[in-house]
Amino acid sequence: MTGLYAGPIQDLIEELGRLPGIGPKSAQRIAFHLLKVSDREAGRLARAVTELKARITFCTRCFNVAEVRTEGGAECAICTDPRRDNHVLCVVEEARDLVAVERTGEFKGRYHVLGGAINHLEGIGPDQLRVRELLLRLQADPVQELIVCTNPNLEGDATALYLVRLLADVDITVTRLASGLPVGSDLEYADELTLGRAIEGRRPLGA
């Protein structure tokens, strides 16, 4: 394939191909799409990437995304919000998981972004995550409950289990998101693991 595309097209296809979820075919399709759109529209995309890197950083407190401020020490909108409850801390893997929790409108506490989940196969242990920073926060803040909102998969479960054990001696309630059937789903089509978890986590009616 090399040589068929002029340099700048090939370069863009390669850069696009590095993005998650974009294969060679999609990269090619997007590159040819960008050739067709106006310079203005393509410029907006290029500028949006540049602006993102220039203006967004990670919160020094919870590691959520935060806007870069001139007066040093970037803190995110949630950490600087005085109305949030300091007693409940929600631990998530990534900043985008935080957004998912925020969208429910059910949670009014603070967050801590681990930056991933324990995955021994890929060499990610507690030291590669922001666990140390979490412990420091638990010493400094009046946290009473830690809700572990890691993903309901192998890595997320391992991370949750690790945190439960780590905090066994600390006077903090550690909870985990309920696993079960998605609202509006069909029992018939549920996989065995999910249905198993739903049975395991069954709750008394009218309680």
Nearest to 201 by CA among 158, 11, 193: 193
Please report whether residue 93 would count as binding its own copies according to CB under 8 A.
no
Please give the DSSP secondary-structure letter assigned to residue 79: T
Q: Where does this chain touch its own copies (CB under 8 A) — which range of 64-72, 128-136, 141-149, 190-198?
A: 64-72
CB of 143: closest distance to its own copies in angstroms? 23
CB 134 within 8 A of CB 111: no
CB of 126: closest distance to its own copies in angstroms? 19
Ramachandran region of residue 183, left (φ > 0), alpha (ψ -120 to 50) or beta? beta
Q: Where does this chain touch its own copies (CB under 8 A) — which range of 24-32, 81-89, 162-170, 196-204?
A: 24-32
Instruction: List the one residue from 72, 73, 77, 125 that touches its own copies (CB under 8 A).
Output: 77
Q: Where does this chain touch its own copies (CB under 8 A) — which range of 14-22, 144-152, 162-170, 191-199?
A: 14-22
Pick 28 or 159: Cβ nearer its own copies: 28
CB of 65: closest distance to its own copies in angstroms? 6
Please report whether residue 34 would count as binding its own copies according to CB under 8 A.
yes
Pick 54 or 121: Cβ nearer its own copies: 54
Whole-angstrom distance, CA of residue 116 vs CA of residue 120? 12
For 8-28, the three-class secondary structure string (H helix, E strand, C coil) is HHHHHHHHHHCCCCCCHHHHH
3-state class (DSSP) for residue 151: coil
Buried b (16+ CB within 10 A) or exposed e, 98-128: beebeeeeebebbbbbbbbbbbeeeebeeee
> Which residues in this chain contact its own copies in the complex, by CB under 8 A?
1, 4-9, 11-12, 14-16, 18-22, 26, 28-35, 39, 41-56, 58, 65-67, 77, 94-96, 99, 102-103
